[in-house]
Each structure stands twice: as structure tokens, then as C-alpha cells.
Structure 1
Amino acid sequence: MPRRVSPPVNELDSLPHPLTSGERRVFDFFNARLAPEWEIYVQPHLNGLRPDFVLLHPRIGVAVFEVKDWSLNDAAYQVQKREDGTPVLMVNDHGEWRAIEQANPVEKILHYKQEIFDLYCPRLDQRAGRAVMTAGLIFPSTGDRRVREFFEPWLRRHREIVQYPGRHPVTGMEAIDGGRIDQVFPEHNRGLSKIMNETLARDLRSWLVEPDFALAQREPLDMDKNQNNLVTSRTDTGYRRIKGPAGSGKSLVLAARAVELANEGKDVLVVNYTITLPHYLRDLAARCHRNGEGRGSITWLNFHAWCKRVCIQAGFKKEYDNLFAEIRSAERREPDKKNNGLKEIMDHRIPDLVDRIISRNLGHPDTIYDAVLLDEAQDFQLKWWNLLRKVCRQGGEKLLVADATQDIYGTARVWTEEAMHGAGFRGDWVRLATSYRLPPKAVQYAREFASRFLDPDLIDLPEKAQGELDIYPCNLKWVQTDSARAEAACLREILAMAPAADPELLAMTDITFLAPSQKSGMAVVAHLKGQYNIACVDTFDDDSQACRRKKMGFFMGDARVKATTLHSFKGWESRAMVVLINTADNHRALALVYTGLTRLKRHVRGSFLTVVSCAPELREYGASWPDFLEQ
């Protein structure tokens, strides 16, 4: 039978972190010498850790290997000892010796082994389970004897290595070049284990298999004829507005157009509302693979970050800071009006300050662009758009894309035809109708939700591609519960999603948890981290500044489970999601639910969406889903 390799062999040369020459030699060695039942996982996203190789045999055991191309024959590395005799790994850095004990490969492999045992194979027998685990170290550029001698001070410090050297092999170039698999991995051909089995292997695979986000980053994005025409052309006036339902490719067109303009030598400003979305748009742009010299530049900012930049560059930082000082002072006087004051600052006073700077020609030259592109325009106020128009050069290009159905801030009506007079547009909206993101089954339930619960004057329903075969399995589950049980239900569904994907493989790190609020999100993430030791990249924090920094660092390529709010995930997509809904009693709350439902991304190996709902108004709708559970 063919060996399971993740990522596939033909894609190893295009990894984000390419294999070193030594790592490639080791992979070829394992691939040639191991029985085909041994699965090979290269640089797996192991809950934030990235070992070089993990090997898995469902009836024999598990092995983790760290590979170092270091040459220990020269004077670049040495062992020093502290006063208590503890060895310290040192490297010569431009003539000065510095400690790199945090990179010590002996400690690394033991750490990997311990985490695999504790977290990823929780059903391994507590006492005998370690017998099926190997933790090895390979130096393909250094002789075997030299490697053993160099690391001897650390090897003899660990009782498990001394007692079971066969489970902790340390080898060098002779073993690799000589094809000595029995030396590099002594446990590879041990008899079938009474401990290891397919169930335990399945536990581990969900952590080892390459996540969809990693694969997607290597694949160029396809566009249909209509989308490609929008990317490669402009209108006579330079103005263009595009609308369409979730998943129809609006953001893709915008990102690809930004790249096209930059390749023409233009300076482009791409703006949106949320803090997290620029990461996604930049990723789309990187995957467009549009040829060009790239003489121009693209600036990716959310609207208020752009406002702050304009103020600072023009020398108005003090005035900008004073606006927030006023807020803090007002909050101390009237704490119950905290949100009202902040909204006034963000919606009006900051944009008004920027308008004064630009209108009086006080701005820095860098604030002027050849093109201004606005994503998720339905989140914007019309005066913000008119402010952005002022920093576009005469004859420049101005593009916006919108979906009024996702009206989570109650601002979509400003983008109706009647309200847009004076915004610079002539003629109709360009409409993208087909949803290429959503699995066809999910399109059906999204359309039903929008038709039942959203304003008919604003909805733009997603459509399936005509004649498209439904080759995208879709697992839809609705859990109806109450607020007291919601947190526990979310935890259960997150933990169960990857194992339940069998026989298909779902990477645990592809799972995204979406919460309606900071409070509910923090509660679930705290349990994931504290109770189950599952690392998460999240955007939750009681402190607003810390929360903002987390949002700035949130991206799908992170090798951890993802967790954020429904608001922050608008515009993004995920193959596997658990979505918590706590209320559905007004238009904005319902629009937020729709936004969450339409974040699901199709995949030939299956997509997974579980909704945990505390909203009684949605019970009847949820009961229509293929898998409905009431708790």
C-alpha cells in the first residue's frame, strides 16, 4: 500500500520553511528504508511545536526526530559547564560565545515526546505507553561518534535515555549515508504492539496531518472569467463598486486588483474595518501569483489604524491622544457611558480630525495613493469613504466591495442606491452571485436563514454554480442548549470534531472557535488551555490594548487552534468551525449569525460546522439541520 506522507512528497520543496539539505536526506532515508505502513509527517503543526519528523505506525508505535545540520567538527559549538557542573550548549557568534540551551536538541526531543504522550495520545497506557515511543536525534553533517561524544553530558543526565537507549537513538552521517535504519531507528521493526492500535493512531493524526491553511497557502487561487476581468480592467472614471454574497470572491478580486496595480508601479491603499482582516487580505494577495515587476507598493490597514497613521505623520499625535484622554476622563465621571463616548470618538471625532488634516493639506506625502480599495464596505459610514477618496490622486482608482447581508454594525443602508449620491459612483453595482467558498449544502442552509430572519431589502443570497457537482462533503450540526450549558457544549464539540472526521483527516489546528463576545470566548479558551493543555491563538483579553495586540497577531497560518469573535472573523474562512450563538433577538445579532454560518470553506475532504445556540428564536431553524441535538 502507498505510504501516507504529509505534506505530500511532491510538495516538500514548496513548504513555507523549506527542508534543509540534511532534512531532505533524512526524509529520503526514512522514505526508502521504512516499511510502507510507517506514516511520515514533515514539520507537523503540533499544537505550536514544529518537530522535524514524526513517524507513526498504527500497530507498532510513534517516533519523533529532530534533525540538525550543524557541523560539530569545527569550533562553532562547544560545551561549557556552570559552577554546579550543569552542561551548557554554546555557539560562537561572530567571535563571542553565547548560550543556546533553549535550542538544545536533546531537550527538544524529550519535550516533544512528553507532549505527544500527555496531550496527543491521551489514551496511551500511563505506565506502559512510553514503550511504543521513540525520540531520536540525527546530525547528517557530523560523524556518529562525534555526535555521541558531544552530547554525552546531556544524554547521561536523563535516566530514561540511559535505561532505554534504543528508544533514544543519537546518530550522524555514517548511519544515514550507510542506510543503517536499525541504528537510526532501532524500534522500527519491533513486533506488533499490544498497546498501540488504530484508535490511538487516530488520536494523534488529527494533530499531525498537514492543516488545510498550510496547504492553501501553497496553492494559487483560481478566478472565473468575470472575476479575472474585474482584476485586469478599470472603468473610465476609475470608480467601481462590487457587491455579492458571502464567498463570491469579492475580497479575492480586491486583493488581486491591488497586486495588479502594484505591478504597474502604483501605490495602493487597501482599507477595511476590522483589525484582523488585513492579514487575510495579504494572504490572498500572496496567493494570487500575478506576474509583474511589483514596482509599486500596497499598504494594508484597517480604517482607524490608517487614521492614526495620518495624524502621527502630520504631527498631530498630541491632538489624537487628547481625544482618548477626554474619553478616560469622561469614563471616570460617568462609567455607565463608556461605550457611547468611545463610539463618538471612533465614528466621528477621529475621522473629523483626519479630514481637517487632509483638507488643509497638512498631511505627509506618503498619505497620497494611486488607488484606494475598500473591503467589507457595508461596515463603513459613507463619510469615511468620502474621506478616503481625498487621499487618492486625481484620476486614480477607487474600488469598494460590499455585502449588505452581513450588516453586523447596522451601517449597510448607507450603501443603498438612494443614499450613495455624492460618493463618486455612476452606473449599477457589479454583482458577483456565485458562492465559491461555501459547500453547496451549506449554501442551502445559509439562504434559508437569510430568507427567514434578515431584512429582505438588504439580503443578497448566495447561489450555487450552475452545473456544479457536489463533491464537497459537509458536516452540519446544530446543538440547541441554554447559557448555563453552552460553554461545556462548545468544549465537547471542539474536542470531538477532529476525531469524528474519520475516515477523512481533519487537522486539530484547522478548527476555529467563534464566540459572540470577549467574555464567552475567554471562558472556553481558558478551559482549552488549562484543562486540556491545547494551545490556542486567540483575540480575547480583558485589557483593550492587549486585545488589540492579539488581533494584530491573529492569522490562520498559526500552528494552534484558532479562537476569536464573530465580529473579528468577518471576511475570513475556515474548513472547520464551532460557532457559539447567545442571542438572536435583533437585526444586528441575526446578521452576525449569518456571518458566522457563511465563514465555512468547502473542501474535497469535508467541511465541518457545529453551531451551539442559546437563542430560542433559532431552535426551529436549527432543528432542520442534518444533525440536531438538544441539551
Structure 2
Amino acid sequence: MAYMVPETMPRKATAGERLLFESLRDYLPSDYVVYYEPEIRGRRPDFVIIGPDLGLVILEVKDYTKGTLYQLNHDEWTLRNTAGQLVKTKNPLKQARDNARLITDFLKKDSNLVQPGSMYLKFPYGFGTVFTRLKQEDFIQHNLYAVIDPQFVLCRDEIDPEHDHFSSEVLLDKIYEMFTVWNRREPILSHEDIQAIRFHLFPEVRISAEFKPPVQHQDQLLLSLHNIKTMDLHQENMAKQLGDKHRLIRGVAGSGKTLVLASRAKLLAKEHPDWRILVLCYGIPLSRSLKLMIDRMLREPDDLLDMMNASNTGIDASHIEVYNFHEWLRFQLRMKDTDISSLLEKIERQEAIVPTYDAILIDEGQDFEGEWLRLLGQCLNPDTQSLLMVEDRAQSIFRRKTSLVHNIGLDFRGRSKILHINYRNTAQIVQFAWDFYQEHSQLKSKIKDATIDGVEIIPPQATKRKGPDPVIRRCNHLQEELAWVCASIKELHEEKHVAYQDMAILYRVKNNYRESYIDDIRAALHQHGFPFRWVTENAETKRSFNREEETIKISTIDSAKGLDFQAVFIVNIENMPFALEQVEEREVSLFYIAMTRALEWLYLTYSGESTFTQYLDDVLESRSKKDDRKQFG
């Protein structure tokens, strides 16, 4: 079953397009990607197929009947429309061919997709036409193959599974034949190649890319793009299929919720340049990272060659406001959260006016209080009702006590989506964090199958990457912890080539009456000559947070929400659950959040006792027994 983008057909699609969509979805290999009507450089080919052993195929779909066709030649067709009038159009095969040439000429600008020393793509491409209401016998009877080669034609009986002569093998073979030059062989497109093609053709899926300066090669400008990152196909579908009005996305940690939200902001800004758009989250560092992500997406041009044009400014960002919630209150409403109740009462009595936004997007929505959401509901344009909220209840710091219908006045039943695949962390980190959460959370009864609409806690069902197990280290005191942390940082930087900016040290408690933990952390890093930034020192350091600064980041756990790093060190874990925290469930969520900030390497250190460190001791003991069994078994 091929992966379809979008996952379902829009209402405007014709019956013939729906039939072809379902046949391609059900009968092409599962590692094929099929796009329906993607916008590519101002054109919308009906279908684009990408396959690792195929290459690229463009299909033009026509629902013509025998009565539609009037006069045909290789270049131009005269058709009779439903009103009986004669209209002229380009030969459908020429339409498909022109779309294919437009696309492939564009892809040739990436030297990584071109054969070395030539101007030819390193993979084949083809094009063809699909006539959903004409059978092969119709083409033979009316001599239609004289104006369009059978190699480039699929007829109704070749795409309709209900037809007696339909064969999935024939369907695939016919698609394979739609090439002017091609030999069937082993995979010709790697995963990276497919990602690169998608990156070029569908700019809304871009996250980031580093590119070398362009060079002249045979009078042709080539772009060499590296480290291309694209949205996962499910995330891409999510951003495209959200539709209008209000939507809710629930997802596990690392499933790309923030990425979907940022992509949605770009799509709205592109489609509605006059809209006023508000993007909110809870933490200040996340708001800075979110703003950078959205700004980068907005600057990303549709044509990659515009990257070299300094005058290109991308999509206008002036109508998008990105804040953490309390900043928005302070800057836009000139108030504190303690004044919200009074303001809501005034709004109800029509004694106050609040700003109106055509779209509101909320990240980490699980941490927004009911009154905050009620206020935002008052700021939402009632004509658009375009509100997107993404959340993960397993990362909830503050439990919401009332429903979204009560808070915002919007019913999300039937308007919610679920992201249950973790892409951020390795399988080992995901499993480790989830095992802990299941062991300690009081919400076990609410952990359900992620396919159920309205689920409270979504278990991560799969992950894409493998890596080392999280490292647990029990020490005698904090200085021993920090010595081990610094030795690990040195090893990661020198042997694994992990940049300092891709490392973070997270802590729960800054100090106690006997000791300043944060002073010890900074002193240890300074002693080893490591560059570092204490992100959560004060409000100013939070506001000036720069994820790209070449420093190790030191942060509280809750301020790290929404961020991720290649390597994460969680120190002084015996302070969790924090003795002064009355709701232990919050501590469980915080530790789960902390562990899922790590992309590749997770280090856990402690030198005291708590229920959490006892759990980690049990894990160490279990690992030791397993190693003994391997050694002597």
C-alpha cells in the first residue's frame, strides 16, 4: 500500500481521480510516495509518483468519454463540453510531458541528483495519461493510439479492480513502461534521494538545509544541498489536511507537533496574507525557538534559486506574532494572568475590547489553564474559528480541570488528529522514558489505544532510529557526578564530534540551604574550559536564548520543553520528586519531559535517594543480571 499525500481525496476530486487514487494506494509498493495535485512551480500535475526502484512518474488524468472526443491530433484535441460547445485543449500526453520536463529541469539544479560529469539526472523519469472512462477497446476501435502511444496510456480496465481483466502486476508494469529510457534494476533512489526530491518539489515540507556556494558547471547553475531534513510523510499530511476552522493535535513527545504547528502557520500566512496570526506556547525558550523556526520557514522561497537572490524576502511575517503566553499578556493586553478573571467578566458585560486574531496556534496546549484558553477564545475571529492546539498530556505540568468545549467554546470531537510515532528520540530512549512513565504515573487507567478519538495519554507506538541505551550513573556526591559529566562531554565532542550547542544539562532544583547546585555545575564546566550558557538564570537570559549559539545549555527541565539536543545530561536526580511539590504526577511528567529531550545520548546521574533514583537503581541491577546471564549463559 503506497503512502498517499494527502491521505484522503478532497471533495472536488472527480470520480475517475478517486478511482485512480485508490488503485495507486492499494496496489503500489508501500515504499512509494504518491502526491495528488501538488503545486509545483505554479502547476498542479494530477499525480506524482516517487519510488526507490522506479524514479519519478507524472500522470495526467482525464475523465473523457467517447462522446467528449471530437477531433484529435498529436498536438491539440478538440472536445465537446457538457453544453455541446467545441473547445480546444493540449494533447494530454503533451501536458504530462511538459509537467515532467518542468519538474526534472528544476531537479537538475541540484548536483547531488545529477550523474557525475553530465547534465542528466541519476534516476529515470516518466510521464503518462490516464483515461478513467475509456477502455482499451475504445482506443482500438477509434484508433486513438495513433495520436497517443499506448506506452503512455492507462485505461479504465487497467486501473479498475472491479474489471474482470484488472491485474495489479499489469498496472505496475504499465507505470514502469512510461519511460523513454529506463532499465528495471535494483533501487536507484536512496532514502536521502527521495527526501531531496521532496525537499525541492514541495517547499512546505522543508525544515532546514545547509548549502554550499553555487558553482558554474557547463554553463548551468547547480545547487549542492546537504543535510536535508524534511517532515515525515505523516506530519506533512497532518499540516496539509488540517482543513479550516479549529483543530486539535495530540501526540507523543518527539512526534513533530511543533513542526506541524510551524508548518501550519506558514501555510496560513501564504494562503491568507491579510490574516492576523497569533502563535503561543508556555515557555520563553520554546517561544524563541518557535519564532526562529517559523521565520526560517517563511523566508524559505518556493524556488531554491531564490536562495541566491538577496532581494527575496519570502512570505511576509509582519502579521504573525509569536509569544509565550505571559509575554503576550504583558505586551498586547498590558496585564498579568491574575487579571484574567476580571477581564473575562468585563468582556461578558461588553465593557472591554480584546484584540482579534484570524488564526491562533497554541503549542504545548496541555499546560494552558482554562481561563487562558477562555480568553484566547474571546480573541478568535468568530468568522474563521481557525484555532490549532497541539498537546501531549504525558508532558502536562498543570492538569487542565475543565473541557476544551467549556474553555474555548469549540467542540473538537471529530476535529482532532493523533501523532503517535516518536521521531525525535532513539528507540532505546523512547522505551526507557515510557517504561518510567508507566511505572510512576497515576494516570495508568487513561493510557489507551492511540487510535481512540479523545484519548488522554498517548503511548508512543513506534520510532525510527536506534541508538545506545541511556547511561545511568550513581555517584557519591555532586562533584563526582559533574566530573563524570564533563568527561562524557569531552568524549562526545572529541570522539563523536557532537557540537557543544547540541548538548544540554538539565536540573530540577537550583540549590538548597546547604549548597548551590547551579554554582557547582558552572564551576565544573568552567574548570574544563567548556563554553556554556545558563539559559534559565533570569528572564533576560530566557528571552535572549539562542539555540544555535555554540555553547552547552544549562536549563531547568520545564524550560526545556519543546527543545531537543543530541546529548542530554540530567543531574542531581535525587531532587525528584521535589519534596515541596505536592502533586507528584507533575514530577513524573517533568522527568519524562527531561528524558525525551535527548535525540541520541541520554545520561542520568544522582548521588542521593528518592523514589526515582530507586527506580534507576533497579534498572541498573536488572542490567547487571542480564549481563551476567549473557556472560555465563
Q: What TM-score results when the alignment is normalised by the length of structure 1? A: 0.52
Residue aligning to 1:152: none
Return the alpha-carbon distance in structure 2 between the equivalents of residues 474 and 512 of structure 1: 17
Asked if the contact 2:576–2:587 (Cα under 8 Å) also holds between the matched residues in 1, the reply is: yes
Q: Residues 355-370 of structure 1: matches in 2 within 5 Å?
A: 356=346, 360=350, 363=353, 367-370=355-358
Asked if the contact 1:374–1:400 (Cα under 8 Å) also holds between the matched residues in 2, the reply is: yes
Specify the SS of the correspondent of 1:385.
helix
Query: Match of 2:262, as an amino acid?
Result: A
Asked if the contact 2:503–2:566 (Cα under 8 Å) also holds between the matched residues in 1, the reply is: yes
Residue aligning to 2:260: 253
Q: Residues 618-629 of structure 1: matches in 2 within 5 Å?
A: 618-623=612-617, 624=619
**1:559-602 C-alpha deviation (Å, 9 max, x unpaired):** 11111100100111011111122122721111111110111114
Residue aligning to 1:282: 291
Return the alpha-carbon distance in structure 2 between the equivalents of residues 378 and 445 of structure 1: 23
Q: How far did 1:615 drift?
A: 4.4
Q: Residues 471-486 of structure 1: matches in 2 within 5 Å?
A: 472-481=466-475, 485-486=477-478
Q: Residues 193-272 of structure 1: matches in 2 within 5 Å?
A: 221-235=229-243, 238-264=245-271, 265=273, 266-272=275-281
**1:419-460 C-alpha deviation (Å, 9 max, x unpaired):** 768344332531101000011111111221111111212532
Return the alpha-carbon distance in structure 2 between the equivalents of residues 369 and 401 of structure 1: 18
**1:204-232 C-alpha deviation (Å, 9 max, x unpaired):** xxxxxxxxx99799855422333223322
Q: How far did 1:497 drift?
A: 2.7
Specify the SS of the correspondent of 2:497.
coil
Residue aligning to 1:372: 360
Asked if the contact 2:255–2:423 (Cα under 8 Å) also holds between the matched residues in 1, the reply is: yes
1:452 to 439, 444, 449: 439
Residue aligning to 1:349: 339
Specify the SS of the correspondent of 1:489.
helix
Any gaps of 5 or more consecutive residues in structure 2? Answer: 1-207, 212-224, 303-313, 447-455, 579-583, 625-633
Query: Match of 1:463, as an amino acid?
Result: Q
Return the alpha-carbon distance in structure 2 between the equivalents of residues 354 and 488 of structure 1: 52
1:513 to 505, 510, 516: 505
Residue aligning to 1:399: 388
Q: How far did 1:557 drift?
A: 0.7
Residue aligning to 1:493: 485
Return the alpha-carbon distance in structure 1 between the equivalents of residues 472 and 424 of structure 2: 20
Q: Residues 501-580 of structure 1: matches in 2 within 5 Å?
A: 503-519=495-511, 522-528=518-524, 530-541=526-537, 547-580=538-571
Distance 1:510 1:226, change over 3 A: closer
Query: Match of 1:568, as an amino acid?
Result: S
Distance 1:627 1:611, change over 3 A: farther
2:378 to 368, 390, 393: 390
Asked if the contact 1:404–1:412 (Cα under 8 Å) also holds between the matched residues in 2, the reply is: no
Residue aligning to 2:323: 301
Return the alpha-carbon distance in structure 2 between the equivalents of residues 247 and 507 of structure 1: 21
**1:475-517 C-alpha deviation (Å, 9 max, x unpaired):** 52112346xx135413431343331576432223422111113
Distance 1:574 1:440, change over 3 A: same
Q: How far did 1:359 drift?
A: 7.2
Q: How far did 1:407 drift?
A: 1.9
Return the alpha-carbon distance in structure 1 between the equivalents of residues 430 and 269 of structure 2: 34
Return the alpha-carbon distance in structure 1 between the equivalents of residues 374 and 350 of structure 2: 16
Query: Match of 1:599, as an amino acid?
Result: R
Return the alpha-carbon distance in structure 2 between the equivalents of residues 490 and 247 of structure 1: 27
Aligned-pair Cα RMSD in Å = 3.4
Specify the SS of the correspondent of 2:425.
coil
Return the alpha-carbon distance in structure 2 between the equivalents of residues 534 and 243 of structure 1: 38
Asked if the contact 1:583–1:615 (Cα under 8 Å) also holds between the matched residues in 2, the reply is: no
Return the alpha-carbon distance in structure 1 between the equivalents of residues 567 and 610 of structure 2: 24
Specify the SS of the correspondent of 1:601.
strand
Query: Match of 1:386, as an amino acid?
Result: R
Query: Match of 1:222, as an amino acid?
Result: T
Query: Match of 1:552, as an amino acid?
Result: R
**1:198-257 C-alpha deviation (Å, 9 max, x unpaired):** xxxxxxxxxxxxxxx997998554223332233224445x01001011001111100110
Query: Match of 1:272, as an amino acid?
Result: C
Specify the SS of the correspondent of 2:230.
coil
Using CA pairs below 8 Å that are at least 6 residues apart, which structure has the higher relative contact order?
1
Asked if the contact 1:576–1:600 (Cα under 8 Å) also holds between the matched residues in 2, the reply is: yes
Asked if the contact 1:310–1:354 (Cα under 8 Å) also holds between the matched residues in 2, the reply is: no
Q: How far did 1:353 drift?
A: 3.8
- Greater fraction of residues in helix: 1
Aligned pair count reads: 365
Q: Residues 28-67 of structure 1: matches in 2 within 5 Å?
A: none
Query: Match of 2:289, as an amino acid?
Result: Y
Query: Match of 1:549, as an amino acid?
Result: E
Distance 1:449 1:281, change over 3 A: same
2:576 is aligned with 1:583:
yes
Asked if the contact 1:512–1:578 (Cα under 8 Å) also holds between the matched residues in 2, the reply is: yes
2:594 to 581, 596, 602: 596
Q: Residues 143-154 of structure 1: matches in 2 within 5 Å?
A: none
Any gaps of 5 or more consecutive residues in structure 1? Answer: 1-212, 313-319, 321-344, 542-546
Specify the SS of the correspondent of 1:568.
helix
Asked if the contact 1:477–1:625 (Cα under 8 Å) also holds between the matched residues in 2, the reply is: no
Of all paired residues, the percent bearing the same amino acid is 25
Return the alpha-carbon distance in structure 2 between the equivalents of residues 413 and 221 of structure 1: 38
Query: Match of 2:235, as an amino acid?
Result: Q
Specify the SS of the correspondent of 2:598.
coil
Return the alpha-carbon distance in structure 1 between the equivalents of residues 604 and 611 of structure 2: 18
Return the alpha-carbon distance in structure 2 between the equivalents of residues 621 and 575 of structure 1: 24
Distance 1:553 1:218, change over 3 A: farther
**1:588-621 C-alpha deviation (Å, 9 max, x unpaired):** 111111110111114xxxx343444644313453
